[in-house]
Amino acid sequence: MTTGVDVAGDGARSSASGRDSTGAGWLVLGAQECRDLWWSGRGPLLLFVLSVLLSGVTYLTATNRALNFLEQREAVNLVVQFAVALGVLAALIVSADGISGERERGTLETLLVTPVTRRAILAGKLTAALSLWFASFIVSIPYIWVLAGGVGIMGQALALAFSYGTLVAAGLASVGLLVSALSNSNKTSLAGSVLLLLVLFAPTQIPTGMPQGWFFDVLVRVNPVTSALAHISAQLVQGRSWTQDLSYLISPIVIVVGAAGALAIAGNRLVRLTAGGGSG
């Protein structure tokens, strides 16, 4: 919930329409959203759940003989992928609640009368969602450290988790915000966003031994999640350079540009009291 946004005092704000014209409104709103997320206990609770899951996966990986006998890089890769997946899920949950949650709690009206543009509202919501991703990444550092320390790939694993995770989190959090803005019910928004994430992550669970032809390769590259994770694996496990198979980065970049662009272009029409038009 976001109420009582204070943009006064920054010395430069109101245009003739009463809206923030300096572009700093989203920063103020982003800071307010982050405070709401973290001080209300919602963010720390999500991080706690994420850390419990990461603990389980890391411990099982470290004690599993099947993984232990051979390739430490595989184990590091598994935990990096899991950390990215959980961090993205957390960011998506927060963004999917962004507009539809405000509507359902009846606080969107208050937010709309604050002197910030609707695009700034969306940018603020996106900032809060991404703050959860960044916190998730920080939480995942000790888990990656404990597994990657002995192989000398800790720096690489962290850099990959951060860069690719940020790309995917930004893209999917933008999609979550779009879904949220288009949903009247918060349940619909959350269910739709989580279902989308599950669909995108499903191909990562296909056993590697299965025959995978060109169609599977196309599916992997079109899907922003699988393509980012495949590029991480190629570097961490197979030791390839980041410049090899750069085509894997196309779909994550497209989803960021497409979803964030849609929010920027249609922002004013998306943030309304009811989804799909009506008042607001």
Partner 1 sequence: MTRPLLLLASLLWVLLASAAPAEAAPPHVTVVARPDRVSTTLGDEFVIRTQLTNTSGADTGQLLVHLNIASLDGRAYVDPEDWSSERSQDISLEPGENRTLSWDIQAVNSGSFAAYVVVLPAGGADEPAGALVVSPMIKIAVADRSTLNASGALQVGVVVPVLLGGLALAAHLRHRRRA
Q: Quick check: 202 binds partner 1 (CB under 8 A)?
A: no
Contact stretch for partner 1 (CB under 8 A) within 60-68, 122-130, 168-176, 238-246 = 60-68
Handedness of CA 53, 155, 152, 247 (dihedral sign): positive
List the one residue from 4, 69, 211, 241 that touches partner 1 (CB under 8 A): 69
Q: Quick check: 48 binds partner 1 (CB under 8 A)?
A: yes
Q: How far is the CB of 67 from partner 1 (least distance, A)?
A: 7
CA distance 247 to 187: 36
Q: Quick check: 208 binds partner 1 (CB under 8 A)?
A: no
Q: Quick check: 55 binds partner 1 (CB under 8 A)?
A: yes
CA distance 49 to 94: 14
Q: How far is the CB of 31 from partner 1 (least distance, A)?
A: 17
Contact stretch for partner 1 (CB under 8 A) within 124-132, 138-146, 187-195, 236-244 = 138-146
CA distance 100 to 15: 28
> Helix or strand or coil: residue 149?
coil
Provide DSSP, 19-38.
Answer: SB-SS-HHHHHHHHHHHHHH
Pick from 47, 241, 169, 11: nearest CA to 20: 11
Q: How far is the CB of 171 from partner 1 (least distance, A)?
A: 26
Contact stretch for partner 1 (CB under 8 A) within 65-73, 94-102, 116-124, 179-187 = 65-73
Pick from 96, 48, 102: nearest CA to 272: 102
Q: Quick check: 244 binds partner 1 (CB under 8 A)?
A: no
Pick from 257, 256, 248, 242: nearest CA to 223: 248
List the one residue from 23, 149, 239, 276 that touches partner 1 (CB under 8 A): 149
- Which spans of this chain sit near partner 1 (rule: CB under 8 A)? 38-41, 43-45, 47-48, 51-52, 54-56, 58-59, 61-63, 67-72, 75, 139, 142-143, 145-147, 149-150
